[in-house]
Structure 1
């Protein structure tokens, strides 16, 4: 068992170990990808799940710096979707997407 296998055999990783794994190149990187695919298949099978986000409106009352639609960002096109537009956006071919209602709150 090599160093990478020893790292991957653990239940958690240190910052240094994560940096080492993310820095792998060549065959070592491909082996890491193969191991990731094995772990994913073991836990979730071979299905691929897609998720999407429907933003109901882009009028923010908060000014969070990480957010692209924050209140003071004057470069954002602002809109507010109607209930009909929201439901139309949530319908996928043959399926209904899960819609989570998200609200900007002052608290």
Structure 2
């Protein structure tokens, strides 16, 4: 009866007869296969996107490392020039005193 079909597990898969049940099941199988193909395509796309992002990340990390090295070298040069400036300023003051005392 209809009431029994509503309470039995899997009753929504059953047609009026075995042929209808087979048609319903084939339709659902076909749909499931289409979904699986679509999901596999999505997975492949996401994997490729991840590989691209990993490559970009590696490239950016390498670039950052190079820039940090350059920055470190520039900081070192700035310190060297500041020391030279202090030395020259001191020499100028010494020369001014010597000129003023003569």
TM-score where L is the length of structure 2 = 0.22
Kindly indicate which of the two structures has a greater share of residues assigned to helix: 2
TM-score where L is the length of structure 1 = 0.21
Structure (1 or 2) with the larger CA radius of gyration = 2
